[in-house]
Amino acid sequence: MKRRVVITGMGIVCPVGNTVEEAWKNVKDGVCGIGPITKYDTSDRKVKLAGELKDFNPEEYMDASEIRKLDDYSVYAVCAAQQAFDESGLESCDDDRRRWGVTMSSGIGGIGTIESEHSRGLEKGFDRVSAYYIPKAISNMAAGNIAIRHGLKGMCSCAVSACASAANGIGDAFRNIRDGYADVMLAGGSEATITELCIGGFTALKALSKSEDPGRASIPFDKERNGFVMGEGAAVLVLEEYEHAVSRGAKILGEIAGYAATCDAYHITALDPSAKESSRCMQLAIEDAGITAEDIDYVNAHGTSTKINDECETKAIHNVFGEHAKKLKVSSTKSMTGHLLGASAAVEAVFTVKAIEEAIAPPTAGLQEADEACDLDYVPGKGQEADIKYAMSNSFGFGGHNVCLVFKKI
């Protein structure tokens, strides 16, 4: 018999807030966290905007000496994980932590460290780069540092599947608990990619918006959309076996009911315009949850603000939901946070759980006039009241990765 998996804690640092409470309030209100890049001089660069963290102070969670030994993506992850762990109340749980684990994803890892240490090597010689260069840069180290900090001795891994990374990580953690291999898993994603090289790379791919108006840069489904906006940050969910959570009197925030992953096997960056495999992924996640498409009330869309993604995702939703697609609330919270790459699914999972908990569908902020090929209810402007019993969160990544998670009201 499959075990139930619930959520007992959440943490977040992202462009619209550095706690779940702050971020969710801003998302409900349609507050945009996108603004001019401050991390480097953009005067001679085509891309001027990003979703940077604001007023973020990691010393609320970590010592300065510890922070210096970590790349920003690991710092963000550790801080979000601490919030989630604190909310869960697990610290006081006298349990076997060999059955507690972590899956903390990152699509790119310590790119900022790679850039800075390469520059240092060119200047001083490559034998004189930092001794912390490798453990700061590698993509699994956010997971490793969280495990060390909380004594998590079960599975410790980092799913890397581009912009679907955190969704795969959350799904893997879900299955690990459901199938009896663990009782508790911290799962999420982190990214710190507002760097010159990373922004430059995506600019060369013609993937990023060159808009200089923060309110018209990340505009999923809008007919004037012209690329995504880079974001940064992290989010973590504490997943727990239902009976384990109940036995210790934990507050249960929601439940994960289904998970599926497929691959387009079509192109290194572009989605398959037929949307066959993304459609199949949604259908498999619904079946995994033991429900029908008509049971889904809200879809947190991948919604990147690129022409092909938004059209393909809309097509996939029509393929799976048929006439019910007209009744769905569908929104992209990337309209406010930007696209956090490997962390995006974790941030969106937090917002999806809050949407269910508070019966509010978050908006697609900034949406003014939908593209002709995008004909669903995208909740423009501000959040709308909605009775949400089941919600789906979609994630798609370069390489053809499709991942869908289904969340349930507890």
Q: Cα–Cα distance between 158 and 141 in angstroms, integer? A: 8
Q: What is the mean predicted confidence (pLDDT) over 255-278?
A: 97
Given a cut of 80, whether residue 26 has pLDDT beyond it is yes
- The architecture (CATH level 2) of 5-247 comes to 3-Layer(aba) Sandwich (3.40)
Rounded-to-integer distance, Cα 362 and Cα 385, Å:
9
pLDDT, averaged across the chain: 98
Domain with residues 260-408, CATH architecture: 3-Layer(aba) Sandwich (3.40)
Structure tokens at 402: 């499709």
User: Can you give the pTM of this predicted structure?
Assistant: 0.98
Q: Is 163 a catalytic residue?
A: yes
pLDDT of residue 125: 98
What pLDDT is recorded for position 1? 75
Active site residue: 14, 79, 244, 302, which one?
302
Same fold, 5-247 and 260-408: yes
Strand ranges of the sheet holding 233-241, from the earlier edge strand across to the other edge: 156-157, 100-105, 184-191, 233-241, 5-13, 254-263, 401-408, 390-397, 298-300, 329-331
Query: Tens digits of per-residue pLDDT, 215-247?
Result: 999 999 999 999 999 999 999 999 999 999 999
Under 8 Å between Cβ of 407 and 253 = no
Q: What is the mean pLDDT of residues 1-17?
A: 96
> Catalytic residue among 32, 158, 163, 312, which?
163
Q: Residue 155's pLDDT band (boundaries 50, 70, 90)? A: very high
Q: Indicate whether 333 pLDDT > 80.
A: yes
267 assigned to active site:
no
| Banded pLDDT at 61 (limits 50, 70, 90) | very high
The pLDDT value given to residue 172: 98
Catalytic position from the list 312, 339, 374, 404:
339
At 383-407, the pLDDT tens digits run 999 999 999 999 999 999 999 999 9
Whether 380 shows a pLDDT value over 90: the answer reads yes
pLDDT digits (tens, 9 = 90+) for 85-127: 999 999 999 888 999 999 999 999 999 999 999 999 999 999 9
Domain range summary for the chain, segments of one domain joined by +: 5-247, 260-408
pLDDT > 90: percent of the chain: 99
| pLDDT for residue 249 is more than 90 | yes
Q: What is the pLDDT of residue 94?
A: 87
Catalytic residue status for 339: yes
Alpha helices for 252-306 (secondary structure H): 276-288
